């Protein structure tokens, strides 16, 4: 190790005198921490370089997404850094910027708004802001235009009965198929099976998609449109242990009775008649079967629902 220069010790003692601490050991620690922090900042500045943009990923549509904001940055510093970054992205021909701002850093959203960013959506503890930089009006897609509800019609083919419930705390209690809203990244068949079990205690298996209803101005959908899908399920268990928090009644009901019942919604009556037709002529006449196909862009798979086609056409 190289020896200290003759002028180092007097300078260090003068530093301790100017900034007194509880002990010289604490002073040394503070001095060492300051030096390390200064060196780290200089290295970071060197890596980023003059005019380098915020770290961001490029998507397939010509936009960039900033997933992580700099730690412990002030609004003024962030504003300048964001302005420099937008200039770089414009020069690179990027058409849009997506800025992910966690709730605990929401103070930085104002700095982004002053540069033209607007809120696109917010989920739990994170808001996403966007800036359109392409030609003409913004072509960025809207977010969450629909909510997806899924119900399961659990049919016992041996006796022609179907599982139905009446919701609790409704002004008018009507018989319906058990169901609820689909969770993010949840396939509709899985939603139907899960909701049926949570509401009735009956376990079931997915068989097919029966119908899709689209409805606008749906109450309780926060201004979004509503997609309501009904699946045909096969029972695995039959004993009912329904959720008393959600349901007033639950029973296995004859499809013929449900099709003619006055205390049910029109869509429930229609699906009951569809299921009767399937029982009499074969479910292949009413089922939209499900098949998994490879997704082009993600390398994963997706589910497609359609009427069954002969093998020679596949």
Catalytic residues: 198
Q: In 126-227, where does DSSP find H-type helix?
A: 188-200
DSSP codes joined into one string, 256-274: HHHHH-SSB-HHHHHHHHH
Find out whether 122 and 128 touch, Cβ atoms under 8 Å.
yes
Residue 237 in contact with residue 156, Cβ under 8 Å?
no
Nearest Cα to Cα of residue 165 among 131, 196, 123, 191: 196
Please name the residue that has the structure tokens 């037709």: 277
Distances (CA, A) of 205 to 225, 233, 235: 28, 5, 6
- 301-306 and 289-294 as β-strands: parallel, antiparallel, unpaired? antiparallel
Q: How far apart are CA 181 and CA 192, in angstroms?
A: 9
Take residue 118 and report the two structure tokens written for it. Answer: 């607007």
Residues 254, 175 contacting (CB under 8 angstroms): no
């Amino acid at each position: 190790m190289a020896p200290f220069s003759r002028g180092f010790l007097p300078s260090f003692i003068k530093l301790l005198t100017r900034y007194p601490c509880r002990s010289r050991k604490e002073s040394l620690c503070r001095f060492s921490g300051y030096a390390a922090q200064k060196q780290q900042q200089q290295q970071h500045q060197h890596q980023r370089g003059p005019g380098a943009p915020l770290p961001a990923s490029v998507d397939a549509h010509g936009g960039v997404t900033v997933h992580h904001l700099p730690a412990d940055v002030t609004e003024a510093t962030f504003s300048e850094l964001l302005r420099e970054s937008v200039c770089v992205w414009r020069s690179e021909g990027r058409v849009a910027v997506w800025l992910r701002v966690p709730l605990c850093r929401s103070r930085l959203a104002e700095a982004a708004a002053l540069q033209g960013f607007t809120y696109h959506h917010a989920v739990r503890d994170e808001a996403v802001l966007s800036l359109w930089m392409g030609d003409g009006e913004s072509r960025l897609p809207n977010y969450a235009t629909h909510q997806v509800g899924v119900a399961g019609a659990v049919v016992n083919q041996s006796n022609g009965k179907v599982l139905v419930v009446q919701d609790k705390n409704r002004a008018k209690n009507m018989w319906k198929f058990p169901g609820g809203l689909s969770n993010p990244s949840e396939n509709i068949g899985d939603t139907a099976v899960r909701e049926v079990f949570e509401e009735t205690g009956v376990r079931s298996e997915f068989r097919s998609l029966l119908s899709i209803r689209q409805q606008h101005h749906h109450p309780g959908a926060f201004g979004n449109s509503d997609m309501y899908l009904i699946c045909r399920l096969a029972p695995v268990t039959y004993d009912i242990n329904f959720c008393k928090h959600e349901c007033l009644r639950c029973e296995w009901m004859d499809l013929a009775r449900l099709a003619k019942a006055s205390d049910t919604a029109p869509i429930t009556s229609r699906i009951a008649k569809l299921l009767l037709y399937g029982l009499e002529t074969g479910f292949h006449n009413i089922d939209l079967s499900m098949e998994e196909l490879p997704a082009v862009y993600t390398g994963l798979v997706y589910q497609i629902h359609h009427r069954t086609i002969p093998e020679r056409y596949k």
